[in-house]
Amino acid sequence: MKFLPLISLLVIACLVACAPKEKIADGNVEWPKYRGPGEQGVSEARNVPTDWSTKENIVWKAEIPGRGWSSPILVDGKIVLTTGIEEVVDEMHDLKVLQVDAETGEIIWIKTVLQATVEEAEDRNEKNSLASPTVAIDEGVIYAHFAHMGTVALDFETGETLWKYDATYRSKNGAGGTPIVVDDLLVFTVDSFDEPAIMALYKKTGKVAWKTVRSHQVKNNFSHGTPLLIENNGRKEIISPGSGMVGSYRPEDGKELWIVRYKMGYSMATRPIFVDGVIYMGTGFARPSVYAIRVDGATGDLTDTHVKWMYHKSMPKSPSPNFVNGNILTLEDAGRLQSLNAETGEKRWMESLKGMFSASPVLVGDDLLYVVSEEGLFYVLRVSDEGCEIISQIEMEEETLATPAIVDDLIYLRTRHHLWKIGNAE
């Protein structure tokens, strides 16, 4: 096992998960997007460790300064993360992006890309970090988003800043939602107190392409959702949950296509999944629920016509759902893991896990679920229609709110002070 020295001025990448592995020309395996290439929290790796410790099956362990809950993104053999430096210098916090060699764990470069005022930094939930959104990478450019503290584009190879966008909205509870690349746009939510919206920047310049204010607003407008791009019946749609509603938006101009309203739900942090023409999504705080919404090309307010089912009992505020063999798996923040029939919403079973949870589960293969608690207890579970079997429980000895990336039979896990590469011993 290789231990790396503490590197000053680092940056981390936020809450993600897993998805089907994607190979590039030189044979490397990539994890290029939040929740993986498929953006559904699924990994097709087959020889992932099911048991390890902080000293066994550890390929390397890199010490990361600062604090951040963004998830690892792996492209061309390099991991990109963001981090926020908690120490204040001249009334400012440094926000950083870093690139790590996935083979060795060595830091390739670290860049201070933005600074946050003390006031900006303190306006966040105590669990949150200054660097919770995960980066997006596209065509040799890294897009690092720090919500109301700003957005920056960097050259993938050198870390050189290409452009910066200065945000102008009032946030609540800090940074959360991750941006996505849609054609020539960088899209993210700006669900503020005063004017909740979704917006797009031109990815090459950082100039505003469009901004669409939410058509339905509630008392607590602030949310931290991550959009999901879908294609249904030949139509591209950006699905973007927020407080009190989920909306679908046309990529080219941000036009609202449809909405579904919910009476309760704010501070939205979970990300939807899309399976067989149906959106499955959580609604956030107040009365956490999961909705199943048909997407069939209809437009307008679909609240009364397109909700297949909704389920309210012991639903998550933070972890995103998974689709497993005809079932929707949901993990409540307090540890209740449930399986719901994807067609009807009927509960199949529930299992209680120890701890609190913010990271989203990752499905490996057909039936193994990997999930880590805020306290650092990592579960490997076997799930089926009938129930859930605990295969192993591993104490990582550090807290984490970041979703792991599982790719090429390896686990990349970010904890409070470290980035871990976990793999079976050869």
Q: Which residue has the higher pLDDT, 70 or 28?
A: 70
Report whether pLDDT(161) > 50: yes
Could you report the per-residue pLDDT of 108-144, keeping only the tens digit for each? 999 999 998 888 877 776 777 889 999 999 999 999 9
Residue type, 390: I
Dihedral over Cα of 232, 234, 238, 243: its sign: negative
Q: Which of 333, 274, 318 is closest to 69 using CA atoms?
A: 318
Structural domain boundaries, residue 153: 2-422
Residue 266: partners with Cβ closer than 8 Å, 6 or more residues away: 218, 219, 220, 221, 222, 223, 243, 244, 284, 285, 286
Q: pTM of the full predicted structure? A: 0.90
Long-range CB contact pairs, 218-222, < 8 A, 24+: 218/243, 218/244, 218/266, 219/266, 220/266, 220/267, 220/285, 220/286, 221/191, 221/192, 221/193, 221/194, 221/195, 221/196, 221/266, 222/171, 222/172, 222/173, 222/191, 222/192, 222/193, 222/196, 222/266, 222/267
Please determine, for residue 356, whether its predicted confidence score (pLDDT) is greater than 60.
yes
Looking at residue 3, its pLDDT comes to: 40
Residue-averaged pLDDT of the chain: 89
What percent of the chain has pLDDT above 70?
90
Q: Are 259 and 247 in contact (CB under 8 A)?
A: yes
Cα–Cα dist 116/201, whole Å:
21
- pLDDT in the model for residue 426: 66
Mean pLDDT, residues 225-243 taken together:
92
Residues 6+ apart with CB under 8 A from 285: 220, 265, 266, 267, 317
78 in helix, strand or coil?
A: strand
Task: Assign 36 a pLDDT band (cuts: 50, 70, 90).
Answer: confident
pLDDT of 294 > 90? The answer is yes
Q: Are 296 and 232 in contact (CB under 8 A)?
A: yes
User: Are the C-beta atoms of residues 223 and 284 closer than 8 Å to each other?
Assistant: yes
Contact of 95 with 130, CB cutoff 8 Å: yes
Instruction: Give the number of domains in the chain.
Output: 1
pLDDT band at 286 (very low <50, low <70, confident <90, very high): confident
pLDDT band at 230; cut points 50, 70, 90: very high
Q: What whole-number percentage of the chain has pLDDT above 90?
A: 70
Higher pLDDT, 195 or 213: 213
Confidence class for position 223, pLDDT limits 50, 70, 90: low
Arithmetic mean of pLDDT, 37-65: 93
The most confident of 28-37, 64-73, 154-163, 210-219, by mean pLDDT? 154-163
Distances (CA, A) of 320 to 98, 182, 185, 273: 26, 21, 24, 8
- Where residue 54 sits, what CATH number does that domain have? 2.130.10.10
CB 225 within 8 A of CB 177: yes
The beta strands (E) that lie in 233-318 are given as 235-242, 245-249, 256-261, 273-275, 278-282, 290-294, 300-301, 307-311
Higher pLDDT, 237 or 266: 237
Q: For 56-60, 274-278, 315-319, 422-426, which range has the lowest pLDDT when averaged over its residues?
A: 422-426
**CB-based burial of residue 249 (10 Å sphere; 0-12 exposed, 13-18 middle, 19+ buried)?**
buried
> Cα(310)–Cα(423) distance, rounded to whole angstroms?
39
Ranges 235-249, 258-272, 355-369, 381-395: which has the least confidence: 258-272
The predicted model gives 296-307 an average pLDDT of 95
- Of 203-212, 240-249, 391-400, least confident by mean pLDDT is 240-249
Overall average pLDDT of the 94-100 stretch = 97
Decide if pLDDT at 68 tops 50: yes
Residue 221, pLDDT score: 62
> Is pLDDT of 15 > 50?
no
Question: Can you tell me the mean pLDDT for 56-75?
Answer: 95
Contacts of 90 (CB under 8 A, 6+ apart): none
The token pair that represents 365 in the structure block: 């293969």
